[in-house]
Amino acid sequence: MSDLAIRTRDLKKTFDDKEYVLRGIDLEIPKNSITFVIGYSGTGKSVLIKHFLGLLKPTSGTLEILGQNVNEISETDLVEFRKKFGVLFQGAALFDDMTALENVLFPLNEHRRDLSLNKRKEIAAARLKLVGLDEKDFQKLPAQLSGGMQKRVGLARALALDPEILLYDEPTTGLDPIITEMVDNLISSTHKRRGDLTSIIVSHDISAAFRLADYIAMLDKGKVLLFGKPEEFFESDIDLVKRFISKGIYKK
């Protein structure tokens, strides 16, 4: 068995057959690691993680997830395959008219009908507890929760089906510093508590990357500019890496 969560070889993507958004990505992300994917806006970070989820198909190159070649998975099996992933995007994207508990119950109702409703509710409650939501808030609607609490619910929902890989796309972009720190800590504590989770965080928050990452991949114009441990980024002579680091937290 491979000890890699994700392995890409010369992964390329063009949407119009002219300009390539991904220009040959070679990446190996070890299982159970926290990996930050950083880089300036428009360099292909989101496009890359959409490939991980099977939402986009590569124009060429290979992509293996947990040892499986994604190109060889049929459309029907892809539904099952996606359950390996939990996803948290920039907004928490909760259902407005469902309580916190119902939001987390939703994927369980979709995919785990083999379990009794009581069991599903039990799991949903356990996930909310895992991310530190108070029991008194379980029956609240998203609008009754603070932004930080909504993020917790979103994360609990991403964890509902016990994913092997958790993908975050810009989880703290647009949040104030206090909530940013809370979400960063939540990413870290969730990772530790689960023990066998691979966490991949797309971010341009370089300071969070240095604080939390086992590995950092910096993309530039559809290529991996540098992949390595945070120390390797500090020591790098690559001009763009230096500039990115010196900005601290990159602002658009």
Ligand X SMILES: Nc1ncnc2c1ncn2[C@@H]1O[C@H](COP(=O)(O)OP(=O)(O)O)[C@@H](O)[C@H]1O
Note the residues at the interface with ligand X (CB under 6 A): 15, 21, 39, 41-47
Burial of 131: CB neighbours in 10 Å, binned 0-12, 13-18, 19+: buried
Helix axis angle, 147-158 to 177-194, nearest 10°: 20
The residues in 6-65 that bind Mg ion, with binding defined as CB under 5 A, are 45-46
Q: How far is CA 88 from the centre of its chain?
A: 6
Instruction: Report in angstroms the alpha-carbon separations of 71 from 26, 47, 125, 134, 213.
Output: 16, 16, 36, 42, 29
Say which entry of Mg ion, ligand X, none residue 86 contacts (CB below 5 to 8 A, set by partner kind). Answer: none
Q: How far apart are CA 141 and CA 103, in angstroms?
A: 9
CB of 175 to Mg ion, least distance (A): 16
Least Å from the CB of residue 128 to ligand X: 29
Could you tell me the sign of the dihedral formed by the alpha carbons of 192, 142, 55, 169, in that order? Answer: negative
Least Å from the CB of residue 47 to ligand X: 4
51 interface partner picked from ligand X, Mg ion, none, CB below 5 to 8 A per type? none
Q: Which residue lies nearer to ligand X by CB, 46 or 62?
A: 46
**Least distance between ligand X and beta carbon 195 (Å):** 29
Q: Report the nearest approach of ligand X to the CB of residue 204 (Å).
A: 8
**8: helix, coil or strand?**
strand
**Which does residue 21 bind out of Mg ion, ligand X, none, counting CB within 5 to 8 angstroms by kind?**
ligand X
Please, which residue, 182 or 202, has the CB nearer to ligand X? 202
> d(Cα 25, Cα 12) in Å, to the nearest integer?
7
Which residue shows structure tokens 């910096």? Answer: 218
CB of residue 13 to ligand X, shortest distance in Å: 8
206 binds, among Mg ion, ligand X, none (CB under 5 to 8 A by kind): none
Shortest distance (Å) from residue 71 CB to ligand X: 19
Looking at beta carbons only, is 67 or 174 nearer to Mg ion?
A: 174
Contact between 38 and 216 (Cβ < 8 Å): yes
Contact predicate 89/70, CB 8 Å: no
Locate 172 and state its tokens: 């703290």
Q: Residue 7 or residue 45: which is nearer to Mg ion going by CB?
A: 45
Residue 103 partner contact from ligand X, Mg ion, none using kind-dependent CB cut-offs of 5 to 8 Å: none
Report how far apart the first and last C-alpha atoms of the chain are (Å, whole number).
41
Which residue lies nearer to ligand X by CB, 18 or 136? 18
In DSSP terms, 22 is beta-bridged to 13
Nearer to ligand X, 15 or 95 (CB): 15
# of chain residues touching Mg ion (CB under 5 A): 2
Of 47 and 131, which CB lies nearer to ligand X in the complex structure? 47
Binding site for Mg ion (CB under 5 A): 45-46
